[in-house]
Amino acid sequence: VSQLILSTSALGILNIIYSVAGQNCDVENEPPPGCNVNNPDPETSGCFTQQAEGIGGIKQWAQADVPQWAFDYNLSLLNEYLDSNEDGVADDPNLIAALTNDERTKDVALLTCRGGIGSGPLKDSFWSVTRTYGATSLEDVDDNGLNGFKRNAMEEQHHVIHRGLEKAYPQIFGNGLNTELSRGIDEAYDNCEYVASCVPNCQHYTCVCENPPCDDVGQYNCRWIEGSCDGIYHYDHPMGCDCATEGGGCQGSEGFYWPWTTAYGWQANACDQIAGEWEVCTPEQFATNPKTAILYKLVTGQSPSQAIYGYRLPSRLPDGKYMQRDLTCGMYRDKAACMILKECRW
- Kindly report, residue by residue over 282-316, the tens digit of the pLDDT: 999 999 999 999 999 999 999 999 999 999 999 99
How far is Cα 109 from Cα 60, in angstroms, rounded to an integer?
6
How far is Cα 138 from Cα 136, in angstroms, rounded to an integer?
7
Reply yes or no on whether the pLDDT at 46 is more than 60: yes
Report the pLDDT value the prediction gives residue 20, as an integer from 0 to 100.
35
Query: What's the whole-number average pLDDT of the chain?
Result: 88
What is the pTM for the complete model shown?
Answer: 0.88
pLDDT one-digit tens code per residue, 161-184? 999 999 999 999 998 899 999 999
Contact in structure between 209 and 220 (CB atoms under 8 Å)? yes
Q: Any bridge partners for residue 332, and if so which?
A: 316
Q: Any bridge partners for residue 220, and if so which?
A: 209
State mean pLDDT over 96-124.
Answer: 95
Contact in structure between 278 and 233 (CB atoms under 8 Å)? yes
Query: How confident is residue 211, by pLDDT bands cut at 50, 70 and 90?
Result: confident
Lowest mean pLDDT among 108-117, 152-161, 225-234, 237-246: 237-246
Residues 6 or more apart whose CB falls under 8 angstroms from that of 143 comprise none
Report the pLDDT value the prediction gives residue 144, as an integer from 0 to 100.
86
Report the pLDDT value the prediction gives residue 341, as an integer from 0 to 100.
55
| Nearest-10 Cα torsion for 239, 127, 181, 165 | 160
Q: Any bridge partners for residue 111, and if so which?
A: 131
Report the pLDDT value the prediction gives residue 143, as an integer from 0 to 100.
87
State mean pLDDT over 228-233.
Answer: 98
At what angle are helices 148-168 and 93-100 packed, to 10 degrees? 100
**Which residue type, as a one-letter code, is found at position 318?**
P
Task: Say how many CA atoms lie within 13 Å of 16 toward its Cβ.
Answer: 9
Reply yes or no on whether the pLDDT at 19 is more than 70: no
Per-position b or e across 325-343, b if 16+ CB within 10 A of its CB: eeeeeebbbbbbbeebeee
- Angstrom CA distances, 308 to 218, 274, 302, 305, stand at 38, 34, 11, 5
Query: How confident is residue 250, by pLDDT bands cut at 50, 70 and 90?
Result: confident
Query: How confident is residue 24, by pLDDT bands cut at 50, 70 and 90?
Result: low
Reply yes or no on whether the pLDDT at 136 is more than 90: yes
State mean pLDDT over 18-23.
Answer: 38
Report the pLDDT value the prediction gives residue 342, as an integer from 0 to 100.
60
Of 291 and 211, the one with more pLDDT: 291
Query: How confident is residue 334, by pLDDT bands cut at 50, 70 and 90?
Result: low
Query: How confident is residue 12, by pLDDT bands cut at 50, 70 and 90?
Result: very low
Report the pLDDT value the prediction gives residue 96, as an integer from 0 to 100.
97
State mean pLDDT over 313-336.
Answer: 85
Distance between start and end Cα atoms, the chain: 34
Query: How confident is residue 195, by pLDDT bands cut at 50, 70 and 90?
Result: very high
